[in-house]
A and B are shown apart, each in its own frame.
Chain A
Amino acid sequence: MTTLESTAAKTLVEALAPAGRRPAVEVAHLRKAYGSLVAVDDVSFTVTEGEIFGILGPNGAGKTTAIECAIGLRRPDAGTIRLLGLDPHADQEQVHEIVGVQLQSGALPAKLRVGEILEEYRSFYRDPADIDELLDVLGLSAKRGDYYRSLSGGQRQRLSVALALIGRPRLAFLDEMTTGLDPQARRDTWELIEQIRGRGVTIVLVTHFMEEAERLCDRVALIDRGRVVALDTPARLAAQARGGKTVRFLPSGPFGDQLLTSLAEVTRVDREGQHVVVTGTGELVNAVILALHAAGVTARDVQLDSSNLEDAFVKLTGKNLHSEGVAA
């Protein structure tokens, strides 16, 4: 079973982190209730500087509430929050200068032009980014003179990301940044995020896109009903979901299970009628095929089933993240 971020895991993360890498986000025992509804219940996680950290969960899981508490928009009922060592309430002014935020479903005045909006928000910061460069990277250069109301959903979303980054933050919270984007725009935005992380910006990503989390995130917290149900790298979470990959094949002739169970990659061998199902990790297919070949057996009808983050989510919460997420 996956653990909450235990003390041991924390020590490990700190040990592995390069020297000088400090925690960018520290959330400990965060709790927030609206009346009798507990939206966030004892949530703890730490994001290291330079990391892309994913917060994944179905609608109503408490992701947005957790983020709103973290950035100081809401006061938590309990728990402590530090952003780059600062308290989001007590050190509000400094936090706003170095933390960029893109909230879900925030619109802008219809009759302002893209360039005018960016110039306004740029003037809020002491050391802002260059508007032309930001527009270029986000693919909005041609839209600089257009009214906000004439932008497509994807363009509005990218402008919103641009506003979160215009102050050249050291830490950025992006809530559902690629919702409503077409696949190409989504991939472009991912590239941008990786580029910005390459400059040392820490990124906290709230998402319900598995592909996004698997592609971008160094670590992912799965949140369900206000709690962190798992926190690990996407690959390890996926591996835990099924105990690894499975290979299913039809052997050309009989062989003993011992042939495969002796392999380091194989954890178990099952027989389903004529078919053999091998569960394991690593370069499982190669190892199995090579061992069979050495014994003079050929594998036909080979099917590889590799579990992913989505399987991990279904297993941990009993919910289908994807179908609930798309509705948003």
Chain B
Amino acid sequence: MNSLAWPRPRQLPLPGAPRGAAFGTIVLNEARLARRQPLPLIGSIGLPVVLMIIFGEIPSSGQVVSTLGGLTLFDVYLPIIMVLGLTMLTMLGLPGPLVSYRELGVLRRLSTTPVPPSWLLAAQVVVQFCVALAGLLIVNVTSIIAFGAADPKSPAGLALSSLLAIAGLFALGLLVAAVAPTSGSVNAIGRLAIIPLLFFAGLWLPRALMPAVLQDISNYTPLGAAVEAIQDSMQTGFPPARPLLVLVAYAVVFAFLARRFFRWE
């Protein structure tokens, strides 16, 4: 056996040591894991791109439909597809690893090191946020380049709507991570929640075609508000306050509940 360099530190370490490098290595490893377990990536980036290509290739999808408020089917489905990608990511990609870290005892192990386990959660949010942004960018850019979609009317509105949609949905994903007891239950909860969430986003029946009562409900669901804000930014201009405030409210409430109920072991 080789000898081990082990000079004993004589002085106690000073508290508040710089930990930027530590956070960096955690983010790096979480990014590696996201790349090596690509199912959530496929669901949140690959699936929207494939759906967009399908919609783009349907000949009638480029025609203006009067019942859709003078928009084409492609125009109507683009925000829905963007939000679909975000939903797959936040319901599966974000809570899955966090719950498995609790199951594996990684959070417990971290709580015996100088780095608190909450950093792993933060690193996971950083990595998945980058994935979410990449997905939205890819879908938008492809829609413009490949399918001749118009540039968004309000790029600032689109950016703000996207960020608030990510915030609201990520908070929901963290809440799932907080309450799901096992990795298996993340999938079960995710699948159960995705159906009504996407229904009110207009995946099966665009919001413009919904009866008034469903439209009213949709306005106050996370995905309904997200689709409304994104669609307005793309087609009309800076979105109205209501859908943005609805997203902010969801972000705050879900984040509070996630923090309140999160189990570290």
The interface of chain A, by Cβ under 8 A from chain B, is 71, 73, 86, 93-94, 96-101, 103, 105-109, 111-112, 116-117, 119-121, 123-127, 129-130, 133-134, 136-137, 163, 167-168, 170, 188, 191-192, 195-196, 199-201
Contacts and interface: CB of A to CB of B under 8 A. Distances in A.
A123 B4 contact: no
B115 A124 contact: yes
Contacts of A119: 25
Interface in B1-35: 1-6, 8-9, 12-13, 15-17, 19, 21-22, 24-26, 28-29, 32-33
B255 to A, nearest CB: 25
Size band of the B side of the interface? Answer: 35 or more
Contact of B8 (A73, A111, A121, A170): A170
A269 to B, nearest CB: 47
Q: Nearest 9 CB-CB pairs, A to B? A: A106-B105, A199-B6, A101-B112, A107-B104, A111-B36, A123-B25, A97-B13, A96-B114, A120-B25
B109 interface: yes
A121 B28 CA distance: 12
Contacts of B4: 129, 133-134, 137, 195-196, 199
Contacts of B3: 195
Nearest to B97: A109
Given A134-B4, A191-B1, A103 B108 contact: yes
20 contacts: A93-B15, A94-B15, A96-B112, A99-B112, A101-B109, A103-B108, A109-B33, A109-B100, A109-B104, A112-B32, A121-B113, A125-B114, A136-B1, A137-B2, A163-B109, A170-B9, A196-B4, A196-B6, A200-B6, A200-B8
Given A107-B104, A199-B8, 6 more contacts: A73-B111, A98-B13, A103-B105, A116-B29, A133-B4, A170-B8
Interface of B: 1-6, 8-9, 12-13, 15-17, 19, 21-22, 24-26, 28-29, 32-33, 36-37, 97, 100-101, 104-106, 108-109, 111-115
A111 B37 contact: yes
A192 B9 contact: no
Contacts of B36: 111
A121 B19 CA distance: 12
B33 A112 contact: yes
Contacts, number: 115
Contacts of A125: 113-114
Contact of B104 (A73, A108, A121, A137): A108
A301 B109 CA distance: 55
A100 B8 CA distance: 13
Contact of A93 (B9, B112, B114): B114
Nearest to A188: B1
Contacts of B12: 86, 94, 97-98
Contacts of B101: 109
B197 to A, nearest CB: 28
Given A105-B105, A137-B2, A124 B22 contact: yes
User: Which of B5, B19, B29 has the largest number of chain A CB atoms within 10 A?
Assistant: B29
B29 to A, nearest CB: 5
Contacts of A127: 9, 13
A191 B112 CA distance: 25
Contact of B113 (A116, A124, A129): A124
B109 A103 contact: yes
Contact of A123 (B24, B104, B112): B24
B72 to A, nearest CB: 42
B114 A129 contact: no
A167 to B, nearest CB: 7
A123 B21 contact: yes
Nearest to B115: A124
B29 A108 contact: no
A167 B17 CA distance: 14
Contact of B2 (A116, A120, A133, A200): A133
B5 A129 contact: yes
